[in-house]
Structure 1
């Protein structure tokens, strides 16, 4: 048995109001794991993210390597977990290392130079698109929803519609 991953979400804001309240209630999670090498090495950001977790839900910030190590650890057997990532590239790394994910929710990826907005809250560049295509090829559903009650939008269909595939 391995950890019970109830939600895997890419959102560069990581833990924030929406995630903390709506998603944790909808998924019945016990723990949030923020998976980011960058944040894991930033004590202030780690502290702030732990403060942002909803009451009664533990949160940890771990490196990608640490997630891969603890993924099959008996300590987490059956534990209801939410994985939060800041980028699709990080998700590709853990999936290719053996973390089994069925569905990835794409929450927010902010606009920056070189990125193209595909929704009001998701901007992607070529590297992001390549990562998403690798995840889709691995059979992982890529769905866009801000909150659980939103209708699911298929990210790959949206990228195709926006004619962003070379």
Structure 2
């Protein structure tokens, strides 16, 4: 038995109203793990994210290395968790290190210079596309949904339609 990962989500806002309420209820989790080296080393952001977790749900901010350790630790067997990442590159790192993910939900990836908007809440650059392609090759399903009731959209189909894949 291993950790029961109910949802893996990429959202650069990490824990916010939508994630905290809708997704945690829909997935029946008891813990949110924010996986980010950057946030794990920022005491203020860690504190704010812990405050944003919904009542009754514990939240922790861990480095990618710590995520790989706790994933393989039997203390966490059966724990119902949601993993939150800020970028696809971080997801690729933990998958390569042995964390078995079946699917990744892509929430928000904000626009910045050098990125192309492919939906009104997801903007990607070449590095993001390469990371998503690596996840696809690893057998990870990549779906876009803001909330659980939305229809699933296949991210790779959208990337191909936007001619972002070489």
With the shorter chain as reference, the TM-score category is: over 0.9
SS state of the match for residue 119, structure 2? Answer: coil
**Alpha-carbon distance in 1 for matches of 2:18, 2:108:** 11
Structure 1 segments of 4 or more deviating over 3 A? none
Q: Which residue of 2 aligns with 1:118?
A: 118
SS state of the match for residue 98, structure 2? Answer: coil
Q: Which residue of 1 aligns with 2:75?
A: 75
Q: What are the equivalent positions in structure 2 for 1:17-166 lying under 5 Å apart?
A: 17-166=17-166
**Alpha-carbon distance in 2 for matches of 1:49, 1:144:** 23
**Alpha-carbon distance in 2 for matches of 1:27, 1:75:** 21
Aligned length: 166
What displacement does 1:72 show? 1.5
Give the TM-score, by structure 2 length: 0.99
RMSD of Structure 2 on Structure 1 (CA): 0.4
Task: Single out whichever of 27-36 and 68-77 deviates more from structure 2.
Answer: 68-77
User: Which structure 2 residue ranges, 5 or more long, are not aligned?
Assistant: none
What displacement does 1:75 show? 1.1
What displacement does 1:63 show? 0.1
Q: Cα deviations across residues 31-90 of structure 1 (Å, max 9, x unaligned)?
A: 000000000000000000000000000000000000001101111110000000000000
